[in-house]
Amino acid sequence: MPPDTESERIPRVLGNVVLMSAASLFAWILTVLAGLVLLVIWLMEYDRDFQSAAATRLPVPLISTHALLGLGGLMAWGFYLVTDAEQLEWATVADLGLAVTLGLVMAARWIGVYRAYAAPESSLARVITVPPERHFPRPVIVIHGLSAAATVSLVLFTVFFTGS
């Protein structure tokens, strides 16, 4: 049964806004954690000396800017949730747009590497040099991509449709 008065409706709306904001925060945290796993793998496998044999398709400025935008956007979103400052809200949306654009560029480049190079095998007899992003585990990439899509959806819904 719908509430009869405006005062009965307000707590339900505020509860939905808080729930949506918290869900977007947790989705963003999951996205950043999965992204940090991928960044650590990339850093462990990246070697400047072997770039002539199997050059990375994810240049250092691209991957580091994407990571910094993801972390910076998460911090801005957290500050926005605490302060409810409209400037942080729009800064977060802009940050998220840039991070998603760079993420899609990196995903397209990773797909090319994934298709071009066979999976590295552990063999003592021969060494196969592949770009560092070929070592990314597919489940982590899928988790990162799905949680990023959820983050974008939840943040945009919170900003544009909840009227907070």
Output the pTM of the full model.
Answer: 0.79
pLDDT, tens digit (0-9, with 9 covering 90-100), for 6-59: 544 444 445 677 888 899 999 999 999 999 999 988 888 776 665 555 567 788
Distance, CA of 137 to CA of 38 (rounded, Å): 8
What is the rounded (10 degree) CA torsion for 109, 114, 116, 121?
A: 140
The b-or-e profile of 125-161 (16+ CB within 10 A means b, else e) is eeeeebbbbbebeeeebebbeebbebbbebbeebbee
- Residue 123 CA to chain centroid, in angstroms? 34
The vertex-28 CA angle with 23 and 34, nearest 5°, equals 130
Task: Write down the domain spans for the chain.
Answer: 16-46+56-161
Mean pLDDT taken over the chain: 82
**Helix intervals (H) in 84-137:** 86-116
* Distance (Å, whole) CA 164 – CA 159: 7
Report the percent of the chain where pLDDT is more than 90: 45
Looking up tokens 């250092």 gives 60
